[in-house]
Amino acid sequence: MKRSERWGKRMLSALAAAAVLAATPVGAAGNGKSKGKPPASSHRYIEVQLLGINDFHGQLNVTRKVGGREVGRADYLAAYLKQREAENKNTLLVHAGDAVGASPPVSALLQDEPTIEVLNKLGFDVGTLGNHEFDEGVAEMLRLIHGGYHPATGDFAGADFPYVSANVIDKETKQPILPPYVIKRVNGMPIGFIGVTLTDTPSIVTPSGVAGVEFIDEATAINKAVRELKKKGVRTIVVLAHNPGASNPDGTNASGEIVDIAKTVDDEVDVIFAGHNHAYLNAVVDGKLLVQSYSYGTAFSDVDLKIDPRTKDVVAKQAEIVTTYHDGITPDPEIRALVEKYEAKVAPLVNQVVGTAAETITDEQNASGESALGNLIADAQRAAMNTDFAFMNPGGIRADIEQGEVTWGELYNVQPFNNQLVKMTLTGAQIRELLNQQWQPTKTRMLQISGLRYTWSASRPAGNKVVDIQLPDGTPLNPNGEYTVTVNSFLADGGDGFTVLTQGTNREVGPVDLDALVSYIRGLAQPFSARMEGRINRLP
């Protein structure tokens, strides 16, 4: 669809702009398309284009498929962004957090510096913090942004663009650790960009990652920043929020935290870029245009604004979520060369063959909550620490193991967090409590298990869903007995709401989880496989 058509029939008046959304299906990619003419008026509106990504996770060289067509990779994403940018000189590039973290080896082994360099090369204008920016702690996060030295990589210049964060506060100073907002001027029009990060970040990041900071309410932080921007005469305001949201392709049925935030914040906010749940979002809620473009560079958000130069306010807005299909576009040669340079640096380790998978092993869970890949990883962790049981959080499994030769790099993509394994002692009663903690108020997280089996009932209330827990020989778990358990360091510190694990005694720290998986697979008969075995069974 041409840009002239996208505006076409929808030359919105200032009164109608907040209520109408021109939604475009996923995959409607422009190719040399021009903007439409501004609406007839005694003055001309300023047309501004915002190109946004979220949850990129350093996926510089990872190709995925959507509808059987290849998508993703930084060089293809770059080609699309440059193509769209060429259509409008008034273009700004933004990201809504999780640009780094849980990254493939080409970025992660080099402290995610390659991802920041790619964003620099593309000319990004502003970004905000996602939860994964905190994976290695506040100091390392700030080093990536501002530059500095790291023992593994040496000196790094940092990001060429500002990061904004209104709700991440230093515990001692009670001040934001980064500027709450930044004002960008486009063709004379001031545009304010405010950043926020989801407040439950401390529950999904290791405690060391968020040491020294606290997260205040997103809407409260946004509204404070809006008041300051309005005092400075800024009337076009965009929020970069690492908070979840989703909608139907036609903009209906918008849901998620971002919807609640939109209804709460000042009506001077025009656009909110969302993130975190890797979903499609293109909807208008309470007059604010909300967008999210999946994740991993498989799509991006193209937001078009018309700003009245007299009032400096938005009079019309619309968005398109564009899938980065590989067919029909040439990858950007500059970014491809950059990615290949970093691939060469990590190749000796990444390309080591660890084993051969007899078939593809996925983390897709059955109705009971069990997955073949979850079983394999839990078994590897239990073997590494020689314990009775092992429990693995599903959010720590980030990719499948494909059929055929399996390299170290592929296994890194499966477990990219470099969490150490922790051995501890729990009572049978505590293990029952642990399993019942899987059903949480906002989300169910089914732990992947090794060394035991259990049944749970969908009809029983949360906190009491687990029915029977059995050892491999069929004997029931003794509530008063003591058992050795392996978990990763994230879980050991109560991550994902599994707080009972903080009560574990006799703690011992073991190898990194990835090393345990590599060692385990190397020791298996080849080709190796894994399957669902009925370790978890759901009752009506």
SS (H, E, C) 343-360: HHHHHHHHCCEEEEECCC
- Contact status, residue 409 vs residue 350, Cβ threshold 8 Å: yes
Residue (of 413, 390, 414, 358) closest to 531 by Cα position: 358
- 177 plus 314 within the same structural domain: yes
- 278 plus 320 within the same structural domain: yes
- Asked, for residue 8, whether it belongs to a domain, the answer is no
Query: What CATH number is attached to the domain comprising 83?
Result: 3.60.21.10
Query: What CATH number is attached to the domain comprising 479?
Result: 3.90.780.10
pLDDT at 201: 95
- Contact status, residue 197 vs residue 169, Cβ threshold 8 Å: no
**What does the pLDDT profile of the chain (540 residues) look like in tens digits?**
445 444 443 333 222 333 333 333 333 333 333 334 434 444 699 999 999 999 999 999 999 999 999 999 999 999 999 999 999 999 999 999 999 999 999 999 999 999 999 999 999 999 999 999 999 999 999 999 999 999 999 999 999 999 999 999 999 999 999 999 999 999 999 999 999 999 999 989 988 999 999 999 999 999 999 999 999 999 999 999 999 999 999 999 999 999 999 999 999 999 999 999 999 999 999 999 999 999 999 999 999 999 999 999 999 999 999 999 999 899 999 999 999 999 999 999 999 999 999 999 999 999 999 999 999 999 999 999 999 999 999 999 999 999 999 999 999 999 999 999 999 999 999 999 999 999 999 899 999 999 999 999 999 999 999 999 999 999 999 999 999 999 999 999 999 999 999 999 999 999 999 999 999 999 999 999 999 999 999 998
* Domain total of the chain: 2
Q: Which amino acid is at 190?
A: P
- In this structure, the strands spanning 46-53 and 299-308 are antiparallel
CB atoms within 10 A of CB 149: 9
- In this structure, the strands spanning 288-293 and 280-285 are antiparallel
Q: Whole-angstrom Cα distance, residue 530 to residue 403?
A: 12
DSSP-assigned beta bridge partners for residue 322:
300
- Contact status, residue 31 vs residue 328, Cβ threshold 8 Å: yes
| Final residue before a domain boundary, out of 299, 315, 342 | 342
- 361 plus 278 within the same structural domain: no
- 266 plus 223 within the same structural domain: yes
- Contact status, residue 237 vs residue 303, Cβ threshold 8 Å: no
- Asked, for residue 69, whether it belongs to a domain, the answer is yes
- Contact status, residue 428 vs residue 480, Cβ threshold 8 Å: yes
| Final residue before a domain boundary, out of 342, 374, 391 | 342
- 323 plus 457 within the same structural domain: no
In our burial notation (b when 16+ CB lie closer than 10 A, e otherwise), range 231-244 reads eeebbbbbbbbbbb
pLDDT at 43: 63
Domain that holds residue 412: 352-538
SS3 category, 131: helix
| Final residue before a domain boundary, out of 324, 342, 360 | 342
How would you class 422 by CB atoms within 10 Å of its CB: exposed for 0-12, middle for 13-18, buried for 19 or more?
buried
- 325 plus 264 within the same structural domain: yes
Rounded to whole angstroms, what are the CA distances from 527 to 360, 384, 501?
11, 21, 35
Say how many Å lie between the first and final Cα of the chain, rounded.
48
Residue-wise DSSP of 61-92:
T-EEEETTEEEE-HHHHHHHHHHHHTT-SSEE
- Asked, for residue 40, whether it belongs to a domain, the answer is no
- 210 plus 264 within the same structural domain: yes
Rounded to whole angstroms, what are the CA distances from 225 to 26, 220, 258, 266?
33, 9, 17, 10
- 55 plus 197 within the same structural domain: yes
- 410 plus 496 within the same structural domain: yes
- Asked, for residue 233, whether it belongs to a domain, the answer is yes
- Asked, for residue 390, whether it belongs to a domain, the answer is yes
- 232 plus 177 within the same structural domain: yes
- Contact status, residue 419 vs residue 490, Cβ threshold 8 Å: yes
- Contact status, residue 303 vs residue 272, Cβ threshold 8 Å: no
SS3 category, 186: strand
In our burial notation (b when 16+ CB lie closer than 10 A, e otherwise), range 465-479 reads bbeebebeeeeebee
- 261 plus 371 within the same structural domain: no
Residues 6+ apart with CB under 8 A from 515: none
- Asked, for residue 26, whether it belongs to a domain, the answer is no
Reported as a single tens digit per residue, the pLDDT across 270-283 is 999 999 999 999 99
- Asked, for residue 396, whether it belongs to a domain, the answer is yes
pLDDT at 333: 98
Rg value, the chain, Cα: 24
∠ CA 404-410-414, nearest 5°, is: 115
In our burial notation (b when 16+ CB lie closer than 10 A, e otherwise), range 161-195 reads bbbbbbbbbeeeeeebbbbbbbebebeebbbbbbb
pLDDT at 338: 98
- Asked, for residue 19, whether it belongs to a domain, the answer is no
- 334 plus 481 within the same structural domain: no
